[in-house]
């Protein structure tokens, strides 16, 4: 990245320049030739932000919402009324999660436009859709069982992740590849791809150096911390390390960059937010380490990591997060991973 913040510029505190939220079917300007749309979600996250970039007399869509009637009605109003039926030049998807890719195929067919994304996200979307490569309730159940989730809770909790096909009715069968560092020319302005991982395998963020605007996807959110979880196909992986390394990639961007996140309000002050997130994870890791004098499994540490009572849906995400934090400390050499083949075979972690 060529634009580095000058050393005398300290991080800006978090501020939210746009507090008026666009209504469903509307689009609201947030920067030169950049517009904000919002779609409701049928789960706790409540909404997703999507973005429209003017591309001469056409438009680029970034992210698409889940494929339900409500979201598609919103898109019809945006495309037909808001944009007056203008052509779409690209549909860009930041990652494979249903709220981002859900309408990509529908929009692609409706507008006769190609979908642009990173290859691992494209292939992961298809694997999850087809239940391939351990993207199954059964495999998730086995993983959670190995990390201490009681047998009577496994079926209910593991099934909470099995809604992909309800939220993504169809997927594009072809795509155009975006690679890390690539600059997409949109309306004469380069938008640089910044690829990260930890939340998803090859998550795409886009930075416009000319306007100091970052479309951060789920990698940098203003209020909630991004879900970072271990899944069955890579049960010994270290996604928390990947996530923390990935958000460091944003450190080189200018301090006054306007961040356009997938959830919450657009904000300025990304360097302060990165610091907050790092401290948040560091505190959780320290707390976790302090209770691992005795062997602990992921299920046993949930009350330490999550103070609130968790329902089955929250437990689904919390288990993946807890394993991610334990794996981080294991990879750092702070914990030993005890894969006992005695008794119930539950994996425990103990401080070195």
Least CB distance to Zn ion at residue 100 (A): 6
Backbone φ and ψ for 316, nearest 5 degrees, come out as -55, -50
Closest to Zn ion by CB, 94 or 257: 94
Closest to Zn ion by CB, 287 or 314: 314
Closest to Zn ion by CB, 82 or 201: 201
Least CB distance to Zn ion at residue 185 (A): 27
Quickly list DSSP for 40-88. Answer: E-SSTT-EEEEEEEEETTEEEEE----SSHHHHHHHHIIIIIISTTPPE
If residue 195 lies in a helix (H) or strand (E), which one and from where to where? Answer: strand 189-196
Closest to Zn ion by CB, 91 or 93: 93
Closest to Zn ion by CB, 39 or 189: 39
Least CB distance to Zn ion at residue 199 (A): 6
Least CB distance to Zn ion at residue 200 (A): 6
Least CB distance to Zn ion at residue 94 (A): 8
Name the residue whose CB lies closest to Zn ion. 97
CA dihedral 262, 267, 272, 273 (to 10 degrees): -20
- The residues that bridge with 163 in the sheet, in sequence order, are none
Least CB distance to Zn ion at residue 31 (A): 23
Helix (H, G, I), strand (E, B), or coil: what is residue 251?
helix
Closest to Zn ion by CB, 263 or 271: 263
> Helical H runs in the chain?
69-76, 98-101, 104-111, 119-130, 137-146, 151-158, 164-167, 239-248, 270-290, 298-305, 312-331
Residue ranges in contact with Zn ion by CB under 5 A: 97, 218
Tokens for 82, please give them.
Answer: 């808001």
Task: Look at residues 37, 23, 45, 100 and name the one whose alpha carbon lies nearest to residue 263.
Answer: 45
Q: Which one-letter DSSP state was computed for residue 250? A: G
């Amino acid at each position: 990245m060529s634009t580095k913040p000058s050393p005398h510029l300290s991080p800006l505190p978090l501020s939210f320049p746009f507090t008026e939220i666009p209504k469903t079917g509307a689009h609201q300007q947030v920067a030169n030739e950049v517009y904000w749309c919002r779609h409701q979600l049928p789960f706790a996250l409540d909404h997703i932000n999507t973005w429209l970039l003017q591309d001469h007399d056409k438009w680029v869509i970034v992210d698409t919402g889940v494929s339900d009637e409500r979201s598609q009605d919103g898109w019809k109003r945006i495309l037909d009324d808001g944009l007056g039926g203008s052509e779409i030049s690209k549909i860009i998807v930041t990652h494979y999660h249903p709220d981002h890719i859900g309408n990509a195929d529908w929009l692609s067919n409706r507008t006769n436009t190609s979908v642009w994304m990173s290859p691992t996200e494209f292939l992961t979307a298809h694997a999850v859709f087809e239940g391939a490569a351990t993207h199954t309730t059964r495999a998730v159940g086995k993983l959670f069982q190995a990390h201490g989730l009681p047998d009577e809770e496994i079926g209910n909790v593991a099934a909470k992740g099995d809604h992909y096909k309800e939220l993504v009715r169809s997927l594009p069968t072809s795509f155009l590849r975006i690679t890390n560092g690539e600059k997409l020319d949109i309306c004469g302005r380069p938008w640089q791809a910044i690829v990260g991982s930890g939340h998803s395998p090859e998550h795409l963020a886009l930075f416009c150096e000319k306007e100091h605007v970052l479309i951060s996807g789920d990698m940098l959110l203003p209020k909630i911390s991004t879900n970072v979880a271990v899944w069955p196909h890579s049960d010994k992986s270290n996604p928390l390390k990947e996530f923390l390394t990935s958000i460091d990639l944003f450190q080189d961007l200018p301090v006054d960059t306007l961040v356009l996140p997938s959830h919450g309000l657009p904000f300025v002050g990304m360097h302060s937010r990165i610091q907050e997130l790092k401290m948040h994870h560091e505190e959780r890791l320290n707390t976790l380490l302090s209770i691992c004098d005795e062997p602990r499994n992921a299920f046993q540490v949930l009350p330490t990591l999550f103070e609130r009572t968790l329902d089955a849906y929250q437990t689904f995400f919390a288990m993946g997060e807890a394993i991610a934090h334990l794996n981080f400390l294991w990879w750092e050499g702070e914990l030993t991973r005890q894969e006992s083949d005695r008794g119930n075979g539950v994996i425990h972690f103990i401080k070195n």
